[in-house]
A = this chain, B = another copy of it.
Amino acid sequence: METISENRCFGGVQGVYAHDSAVTGCKMTFGLFLPQEAEHGSVPLLWYLSGLTCTHENAMTKAGAQAWAADHGIALCFPDTSPRGEGVANDDAYDLGQGAGFYVNATQDPWKPHFQMWDYIAEELPRVVDHNFAIDPERQSITGHSMGGHGALTLAMSLPGRYASVSAFSPIANPTQSDWGRKQLTAYLGSDEEAWKAHDSSLLMLDRGFDGPVLIDQGASDQFLNLLKPEALAHSMAARRQDGTFRMQKGYDHSYFFVSTFMEEHVAFHAEALYAL
């Protein structure tokens, strides 16, 4: 593992690291914030999965999460959103290929060789982080924004026992029924829609739900509401009787100004679940 940078931040360290990933077959970069408490012992870890076009850097510099993570003594991990580099397939569209991994394991060419983001986030990167830093693998939670909210929700519901809590900011909530989803799931997983169902949080919520608390924030003035389809997830949560909160936030859009506004409450929500373990 290679250290790209480390900056003192809110009493802890905001680092950026790179490693050769066996799962994605390329070098992967991630951000990791360790609070001061990590100098003396292992700390809980909150994953933050980013949205379309993002790298590890966007949320790390714009979401304002470190302030609250430091308050609660929690580490933050900011993975990249896809494999990258020469030899990695790509597309001219912003919503397919590099920067748009959708947190799935591609089964179709040309994506299959590198686009294995599900296994990367679920298996390989947790091992790398656990091996190199003072985090407690028994205390993990997950959140994300937009495509990353989709990733957080689908991972959380598919890996029971892994995460103490899950939250999302304006997630892509029903990708099997959206242009943010159908195109990408066809490309990565093929045209058999049965294979898509494992990657739709509204369907997973109806089918199995999450074994812990759920918090969803959605801006009512989000310019992508028709693509995000929050109503499908809200319906599924209520129909499932899911322990959780769905909030429609008046006046807010899809930007990091929205995410940063509600970050304090999301980190506090996860801290409560993590420290109850």
- Which A residues from 52 to 67 make CB contacts under 8 A with B? 61-62, 64, 66-67
Residues of B within 8 Å of A64, CB to CB, are 64, 67, 260
Please report the C-alpha to C-alpha distance between residue A11 and residue B264 in the assembled complex, in whole angstroms.
Answer: 14
Decide: A8 near B257, CB < 8 A? Known: A61-B61, A62-B61: yes
- One of B8, B221, B255, B261 near A219 (C-beta < 8 A): B8
A58 to chain B minimum Cβ distance, whole angstroms, is 10
Residue of B nearest to A68 (CB): B67
B61 touches A14 (CB 8 A): no
| In the complex with contacts A67-B264, A260-B67, A8-B251 CB distance below 8 A | yes
Query: CB-CB < 8 A to A8: which residues of B?
Result: 219, 221, 249, 251-253, 257-258, 261
- In the complex, which residues of chain B have a beta carbon less than 8 angstroms from the beta carbon of A61? 61-62, 256
Provide the residues of chain B in CB contact with A3, threshold 8 Å.
none
Chain B: minimal CB distance from A146 (Å): 15
> Which residues 237-277 of A sit at the B interface, judged by CB distance below 8 A?
249, 251-253, 255-258, 260-261, 264
A133: Cβ under 8 A from any B Cβ: no
Main secondary structure of the interface of A (DSSP, over half): mixed
Residue of B nearest to A58 (CB): B61
Q: Is A10 an interface residue, CB under 8 A from the partner?
A: yes
Task: Give Cα A252 to B61, complex, Å.
Answer: 16
Given known A7-B253, A253-B7, contact A260–B66 (CB-CB < 8 A): yes
Q: Give Cα A100–Cα B48 distance, bound, in whole angstroms.
A: 35
Q: Is A26 an interface residue (CB 8 A)?
A: no
A9 within 8 A of B: yes
**A267, chain B: closest CB distance, angstroms:** 12
Q: Which chain B residues border A66 with CB–CB below 8 Å? A: 257, 260-261
Q: Mask for A37-62, Cβ within 8 A of B = 1, else 0?
A: 00000000000000000000000011
Q: Which residues of B contact A256 (CB under 8 A)?
A: 61
Which residues of A are in contact with B by a Cβ distance under 8 Å? 7-11, 14, 61-62, 64, 66-67, 219, 221, 249, 251-253, 255-258, 260-261, 264
Which 8 residue pairs spanning A and B have beta carbons closest together? A9-B257, A7-B257, A8-B251, A8-B252, A64-B64, A10-B261, A7-B255, A61-B62
Given contacts A9-B261, A61-B256, 5 further A-B pairs with CB under 8 A are A7-B252, A7-B253, A8-B221, A8-B249, A66-B257
Give 20 pairs: A residue, B residue, CB < 8 Å, sorted on A: A7-B252, A7-B255, A7-B257, A7-B258, A8-B219, A8-B251, A8-B257, A8-B258, A9-B257, A9-B258, A9-B260, A10-B260, A61-B61, A61-B256, A64-B64, A64-B260, A66-B257, A66-B261, A67-B260, A67-B261
